[in-house]
Amino acid sequence: MKSLGYFFLRTIIHHDWELKQAHLRHYGISVIFKKSDKELIKPQSLLIRFENSCFKIHYFLVILQKFYKIQFMLSINNLSVQFGKRILFDEVNTVFTHGNVYGVIGANGAGKSTFLKIISGDMDPTSGNIHLEPGKRMSVLNQNHNMFDEHTVLETVMMGNKVLYKVKTEMDALYLDYSDENADRIGELQVQFEEMNGWNADSDAASMLSNLGITEDNHYTLMGDLEGKIKVRVLLAQALFGNPDLLIMDEPTNDLDFETIAWLENFLANYENTVIVVSHDRHFLDAVCTHISDIDFSKINHYSGNYTFWYESSQLAAKQRAQQNKKAEEKKQELEEFIRRFSANVAKSKQATSRKKMISKLNISEIKPSSRRYPAIIFDQEREAGDQILNVQNLSASVDGDVLFKGVDLNMAKGDKIVLFSKDSRATTAFYEILNGNQTPDSGTYDWGVTTNQAYLPGDNHSFFESDYSLVDWLRQWVKTEEERDEVNIRSFLGKMIFSGEEALKTCRVLSGGEKVRCMLSRMMMERANVLMLDEPTNHLDLESITAFNNSLKNYKGSVIFTTHDHEFAQTVGNRVVELTPKGAIDRYMTFDEYLDNEGVQELRTRMYS
């Protein structure tokens, strides 16, 4: 019978190889080493051929688990997903092993969320199957924020452990209608409940909620009575409740503040079970991931290490591929030196000191060039600004009776890159709108330096895309010279921003959220400003665009005021932090991490928001 394909598996098989090879052949499985010297075999890629049926893959995993004590929490067998003519996944075979945290990455539209829906059972693949280790429990971060509106907060969290909640519900119902007939059943349920540590379930759920900043007075509130951002935290507590064996999360940091994200990072970094997560937050991926699962060319490949290691190593591999004349030994030494340097930095970093899942081994044979395309985001200045950039005096704003900020004084100097943030996102948006003349403050004044020219990226860009212009004509509105008006020039510019070929001619009404932000960035680059204002600039962008944007701002010579929920963005770009509160502003020349870790600042923040 024709072979159904090949399956690459990284594992350890280095003792009694001839015996194991014979054992596997008994099940119709042949294993071919990529290396001829079997005496030197280390953990590496093996080429596995399954001759008879797709069930051979399952048999193979069972053999490794039973005889060689290798644990596979989740196995993906011959998975294919197709929508019309579009192929998202093509015969994907891979495994997710016990105790690892996998960060799933891929370009927008690559199928990250689709993959999570398939493994969680919310969507069926075109073909193939998913196998969860028997007896293991999977928990999924719920994306439907209104599903539990009729339940209390505490009850919603406990529903995260479906088996325990089912036992508890049946037991409670039988207690209400107690009789001799149901006494035996109650006894059975009590045994099950105790085995699942059910008697501590209420206190465990309450503790989880408190850790996520949901106070006890809200624990018995109906979910339908909560605001959206609080619901997100409750659903996160629900996913984490009961220590699931496999945790599936799609963008878990959305709508969380920095403190809650930090708590989640620490929780997952010390989590003993398996996690599969999709996130655009690079700081989060670096803090929690032991592996990166890259979706590319309709396949999924796992790489040891966190996101930064994957990104930097793939960039290095791409550079080496372009260096045709460089000797193989020199390239190998360069890769090994990169790994030594990266490992040393991780070992010294704050986020790694308490982690049990330190990056203990990084394999240079895994490093491959990425096929990713990164937009060319480069901000030039038409002229250099003088020393005086912006002066703000006694600025105040409110909305619907809520004070957003009050009595803000700010003197922005040349070279300042200010992280502007607040616990109320309306405050930062109002601040930008006032500085751009789109909103009138309750009190106070602001003055821009005479040598400055500003470019603004608003959080809501809807009004910029209400015409039927093609992208070429849309961008032409902001050119400054006749030479720039030329279509060839504009299409070249758009091509660098990943709008190639016919994409440059589609109308701006049909753009996705990420495409609109890339257009807005193109507009800002055309303006060649020496002051940039950015309100949540990473919203809707993929990791490639965020990384390119981040690197560009680090190198930008002008001044920047920006608001972001991307921790890495804030930490690597900002050199000053200004926090807007109802009682004024906190202003410190320090990095974002230093600001969050400073005890004096945290005490002041508590008073300013009280």
DSSP code string of 345-374: HHHHSGGGTT-SS------GGG--------
Q: How far apart are CA 365 and CA 315, in angstroms?
A: 15
Is residue 139, in this structure, part of any structural domain at all? no
Is residue 358, in this structure, part of any structural domain at all? no
Q: How far apart are CA 400 and CA 404, in angstroms?
A: 10
Closest CA to 81 of 126, 40, 114: 126
Whether the Cβ atoms of residue 441 and residue 448 lie closer than 8 Å to each other: no
Is residue 52, in this structure, part of any structural domain at all? yes
Q: In this predicted model, what pLDDT tens digit does every residue of 116-126 receive, in sequence order?
A: 999 999 999 99
Boundary of a domain, candidates 70, 96, 115: 70
- In this model, does residue 426 exceed pLDDT 60? yes
Mean pLDDT check: name the lowest of 95-99, 149-153, 320-324, 582-586.
Answer: 320-324
Whether the Cβ atoms of residue 431 and residue 566 lie closer than 8 Å to each other: no
Number of domains the chain is built from: 2
Cβ contacts of residue 190 below 8 Å, gap of 6+?
Answer: 171
User: What pLDDT, on a 0 to 100 scale, did the predictor assign at position 324?
Assistant: 65
Q: Which residue has the higher pLDDT, 584 or 47?
A: 584
Can you give the residue range of the structural domain that contains 574? 388-466+522-609
Q: pLDDT band for 369, please (50, 70, 90 cuts).
A: low
Q: What is the mean pLDDT of residues 2-9?
A: 34
- Give the residue carrying structure tokens 């878990």: 252
Q: Which residue has the higher pLDDT, 362 or 126?
A: 126
Boundary of a domain, candidates 11, 41, 70: 70
Q: In this predicted model, what pLDDT tens digit does every residue of 246-275 receive, in sequence order?
A: 999 999 998 898 999 999 999 998 899 999
User: What pLDDT, on a 0 to 100 scale, did the predictor assign at position 319?
Assistant: 76
Is residue 567, in this structure, part of any structural domain at all? yes
Q: How far apart are CA 290 and CA 101, in angstroms?
A: 5
Boundary of a domain, candidates 70, 98, 127: 70
Burial 328-345, CB ≥16 within 10 A → b, else e: eeebeebbeebbeebbee
SS3 call for 258:
helix
User: What pLDDT, on a 0 to 100 scale, did the predictor assign at position 408?
Assistant: 97
Q: How far apart are CA 406 and CA 398, in angstroms?
A: 8
User: What pLDDT, on a 0 to 100 scale, did the predictor assign at position 246?
Assistant: 97
Is residue 64, in this structure, part of any structural domain at all? yes
Q: In this predicted model, what pLDDT tens digit does every residue of 458-494 receive, in sequence order?
A: 999 999 999 999 999 999 999 988 888 998 999 998 9
Inter-axis angle of helices 328-348 and 307-322, to 10 degrees? 160
Angle at 313 between CA 554 and CA 111, to 5 degrees: 90
Secondary structure element (H or E) that encloses residue 531, with its range:
strand 531-535
Closest CA to 558 of 537, 536, 529: 529
Start-to-end CA span in the chain (Å): 73
- In this model, does residue 532 exceed pLDDT 90? yes
Secondary structure element (H or E) that encloses residue 472, with its range:
helix 471-476
Is 98 buried (19+), middle (13-18) or exposed (0-12) by CB count in 10 A? middle
Q: How are beta strands 127-132 and 101-105 bridged, if at all?
A: unpaired
Closest CA to 259 of 524, 601, 550: 601
Q: What is the mean pLDDT of residues 59-76?
A: 62
Is residue 557, in this structure, part of any structural domain at all? yes
Whether the Cβ atoms of residue 390 and residue 531 lie closer than 8 Å to each other: yes
Q: How far apart are CA 54 and CA 71, in angstroms?
A: 20
SS3 call for 105:
strand
User: What pLDDT, on a 0 to 100 scale, did the predictor assign at position 367?
Assistant: 63
Is residue 568, in this structure, part of any structural domain at all? yes
Q: What are the strands of the beta sheet with 388-399, ordered from one edge?
A: 402-413, 388-399, 443-448
Cβ contacts of residue 166 below 8 Å, gap of 6+?
Answer: none
Is residue 399, in this structure, part of any structural domain at all? yes
Q: How far apart are CA 165 and CA 187, in angstroms?
A: 16
Beta strands in 305-348 (DSSP E): none
Q: In this predicted model, what pLDDT tens digit does every residue of 512-527 receive, in sequence order?
A: 889 999 999 999 999 9
Q: What is the mean pLDDT of residues 39-58?
A: 41
